[in-house]
Chain A
Amino acid sequence: MQIIISNSSKEPIYEQITNQIKSSILAGELQEGTAIPSMRNLAKDLQISVITTKRAYEELEKAGFIYSIVGKGSFVAEQNLEVIREKKLKVIEEQLGAVITNSREIGLSLDELKQLLKILYEE
């Protein structure tokens, strides 16, 4: 499991961890049932305090991404990927709607917008 944290980022470290584990799970890199490192081992490896990884794991558990069994460790929970995909798509639609509204306001054409999107997407 690869996690890279930045101490200078504005995003709190526990959030960096939860976000990266979430995306690994959503991208299918971490399969259902896979054991993830214990929070104490992760803290040592990332050279951060235990309470930070503890908080990250707690949030992941709350959001249903992982589950913990006392004495055994934490595992990737079963994900209903269809549902998650659907939800994400809905968010993307909303956000694109806002983009389009803004674009019309300043007279940005569809082609120009596509161009901009292409550049940003490939960045």
Chain B
Amino acid sequence: MENVVELKNVTKKFKGFSVKNIDLQVKQGFVTGFIGANGAGKSTTIKMMMNLLKPDAGEVKLFGLDYKTHEKAIKERIGFVYDGNIFFEGLNLKDIKRIVAPAYKQWDDTLFYQYVEQFKLPLNKAIKTFSKGMQMKASLAIALSHHAELIIMDEPTAGLDPIFRRELLDLLQELMIEGNRTIFFSTHITTDLNRIADYIAFMQNGELVFNQSIHDVAENYALVKGGLNLLDSDTEKAFVHVHRASTGFEALTDNIKAVKNTFGDTVVFERASLEDIMYYLKGGIHHV
């Protein structure tokens, strides 16, 4: 089984907002970073993966299984971390563990206490007294203690300081040594992804713009800079977005080859960061 998560033509409509025709595959054994601006539909998509929301149309499959018939088997294999605390605020970590642990057949107490020690988490203090970073670590300790094959995280790094973000990435990287593990996480801090992501899924206005390996992204997308005199209605077709200034233009292309054919050496190419791509595509894809 190559795809751990498979969304086929998934659509969910809300008042004034909808997620449309999502076709998304998450590859086993890799880290997929899920990016997009706030309100692009990332959380909605994650909720459909977790069966917290049911799509109006389309198909959601995890591990090749359907939620209708295999809900428990699927969730048994998922570790989840959400943005914000979902555990009973007044309880301490020990009690939360006592509630969560029996839900999983594969719960590993030794592993749990190992993470508790590694993260320096207090067992007897109410969760509501934890800092944001500690709450996140607590969620993570719980998510990782039942040998989950798929770890789904919704904005795990939001609101965390750089030091903790780094620690989290280190930890995730360690988790990936085990080859059958898959991580899917959404973030709008794209720098988190440079180090760890293998695939990037990018959402914009409720649609999936692309889901490509970081190599494909690097090979397809680039920033192109050059003089304004080079631009005309024909040559501009190679770009997804063009920004003009009196000093020249800066543009994003998703087809480096075509730009090279059109402009040759008259323009300068630069690697487009994920942030560049997000920024230039914010109006959606429209070849100018």
Contacts and interface: CB of A to CB of B under 8 A. Distances in A.
A and B touch in the complex (CB under 8 A): yes
Interface of A: 7, 12, 14, 38, 40-41, 43-44, 47-52, 55
Contacts, number: 42
Interface of B: 29-31, 169-170, 173-174, 176-179, 194-199, 213-215, 218
A116 to B, nearest CB: 27
For the complex of A and B, list the 9 residue pairs with the smallest distance between their C-beta atoms, beginning with the closest.
A51-B198, A40-B177, A44-B173, A49-B198, A47-B195, A50-B198, A49-B196, A51-B213, A49-B197
Given A40-B176, A40-B177, A44-B177, A50 B218 contact: no
Contacts of B215: 12, 14, 51-52, 55
A89 to B, nearest CB: 32
B176 A44 contact: yes
Contacts of A38: 177
A23 to B, nearest CB: 22
Nearest to A45: B173
Given A47-B170, A51-B30, 5 more contacts: A40-B176, A44-B173, A48-B195, A49-B214, A50-B176
Contacts of B213: 51
Contacts of A52: 198, 214-215
Nearest to A44: B173
A14 B176 CA distance: 18
A49 B215 CA distance: 11
Contacts of B178: 40
Contacts of A49: 31, 195-198, 214
A40 B176 CA distance: 7
